[in-house]
A and B are shown apart, each in its own frame.
Chain A
Amino acid sequence: MTKRIILGAVAILLVIVAAYASFFIAPQERTMGLIQRIFYFHAATAWAGEMTFFVCFLANLLYVWKRQPKYDWLGVSSAEVGLACITVVLITGPIWAHPVWGIWWTWDARLTSTFVLWLLYVSYLLLRTLIEEPERRALLSALFGIFAFLDVPLVFFSIRWWRTQHPQPVIMGGSGSGLDPTMSKVFFFSVLAMHVLAAFLIVERYVLEKMKSEFDFLAREVEAQ
């Protein structure tokens, strides 16, 4: 419990410092101006979301291999946190796009693949509500989770493989791309902050899922008596 409180406090502290750095330390971008500051929150949340889905993917693989409930708990916990992150990405993206592009949304490769990713993990969570038997639910959702993760590399590489309305990569984008050194430091600090926040949320959600499993077990025992 104490460790969870410390992790939560560290996450809150880091996101506050990251928000401060995004507004007051990162220099103003020349062409976009103030609106570019959404990038530090939007892109860092997207990276955290993708990492969270990677954790879900690993948990799903481990469940299929070892059939231990703890991997199922980790899978659903990270899927929910990743979904929260991608929801934020899908909200903050259009808020940035409207003043810059003049439109809220366009069906380009990056935006469409991100929306598909969101739909896939909504389906993953919906699927879990449709199956009552715990082991069958865990196995089917793990298999679906492995399939859903295939979209994550597609989202990441979409702006590298295709010409998109979405800006081209400024991190790991090859020659001609890159960020001002201060912007880069603020961005990577924001990435760290969002990863710690995601880790905190996964831990909290995992505790809930573990408790649910204990409850189901006891409920069956009471019913059997």
Chain B
Amino acid sequence: MKNLDSVFAAYIVGWGVFFVFYLTIAKRTSNLRAELDRLKSSLPRAK
């Protein structure tokens, strides 16, 4: 099984990049949703 470590590394690192990218999108979306809800709730009070 020559080069199995390289093949394994390529797939793990590659999928790792996509996974981390997806996590950053999910995290940013969740934070922004919370901020948006806070902002929406502050609007009627401001009026």
A interface with B by C-beta (< 8 Å): 15, 19, 33-35, 37-38, 41-42, 45, 80-81, 84, 87-88, 91-92, 95-96, 98-99, 197, 201, 204-205, 207-208, 211-212, 214-215, 218-219, 221-222, 225
Subset of 17 A-B contacts with CB under 8 Å: A33-B2, A35-B3, A35-B6, A38-B10, A42-B14, A84-B18, A88-B13, A91-B13, A92-B14, A96-B6, A98-B6, A205-B25, A208-B25, A214-B36, A215-B35, A222-B39, A222-B46
Contact of A211 among B11, B15, B26, B36 (CB under 8 A): B36
Whether A41 and B43, one on each chain, are in contact in the complex, defined by CB atoms closer than 8 angstroms, is no
Question: How long is the Cα–Cα vector from A45 to B17 in the complex, in angstroms?
Answer: 12
Contact with A along B21-43 (1 / 0, CB 8 A): 11001101100110110011011
Chain A contacts of B42 at CB under 8 A? Answer: 222
Contact of A208 with B32 at beta-carbon distance under 8 Å, contacts A34-B7, A201-B22 already known: yes
Chain B contacts of A80 at CB under 8 A? Answer: 21
Whether A221 and B43, one on each chain, are in contact in the complex, defined by CB atoms closer than 8 angstroms, is yes
Whether A211 and B3, one on each chain, are in contact in the complex, defined by CB atoms closer than 8 angstroms, is no
Taking CB as reference atom, which chain A residue is nearest B20? Answer: A84
Whether A204 and B22, one on each chain, are in contact in the complex, defined by CB atoms closer than 8 angstroms, is yes
